[in-house]
Copies of this chain bind each other. A is one copy, B any other.
Amino acid sequence: MKPVCLVIGAGAGIGGTVGARFAREGYHAVLCRRSDKEGLDRLVAEIRADSGDASGMLLNAIDDNAIEDAVIRVEKEIGPVEVAIFNLGAQIGDRPLADTSHKAFEMGWRLATFGLFRLAKTLLPMMADRGSGSLLVTSATAAVRGNAGQHSHAAAMGGRRMLCQTLNAEFAPKGVHVAHILIDGAVDAPDTLGKMLGPERFQQLRETRGAEDGLLLPEKIAETYLHVAQQHRSVWTHELDLRSFSDVAWWNHV
Contacts and interface: CB of A to CB of B under 8 A. Distances in A.
Interface string A88-105: 000000001110101001
Contact of A155 (B102, B162, B236): B162
A162 B146 contact: yes
- Which size bracket describes the interface of A in this complex? 35 or more
A124 to B, nearest CB: 6
Interface string A155-195: 11111111111111111110101000000000010000000
A186 to B, nearest CB: 10
A113 B109 contact: yes
Contact of A154 (B118, B151, B162, B231): B162
Given A155-B163, A163-B154, A235 B227 contact: no
A37 interface: no
B217 A232 contact: yes
Contact of A236 (B124, B150, B242): B242
B216 A234 contact: yes
A183 to B, nearest CB: 9
A248 B146 contact: no
A125 interface: yes
A251 B145 contact: yes
Contacts of A125: 97-98
Copies per complex of this chain = 4
Contacts of A100: 121
A162 B154 CA distance: 6
B159 A109 contact: yes
Interface in A223-254: 223-224, 227, 231-246, 248-254
A177 B245 contact: yes
Given A97-B167, A162-B143, A162-B154, A217 B235 contact: yes
B220 A232 contact: yes
Given A102-B118, A166-B155, A170-B96, A236 B243 contact: yes
Of the candidates A124, A217, A235, the one having the most CB atoms from chain B within 10 angstroms of its own CB is: A235
Given A97-B121, A155-B160, A217-B234, 7 more contacts: A97-B124, A102-B118, A145-B162, A146-B164, A147-B169, A216-B235, A239-B239
Interface of A: 96-98, 100, 102, 105-106, 109, 113-114, 117-118, 120-121, 124-125, 142-151, 154-173, 175, 177, 188, 213-217, 220-221, 223-224, 227, 231-246, 248-254
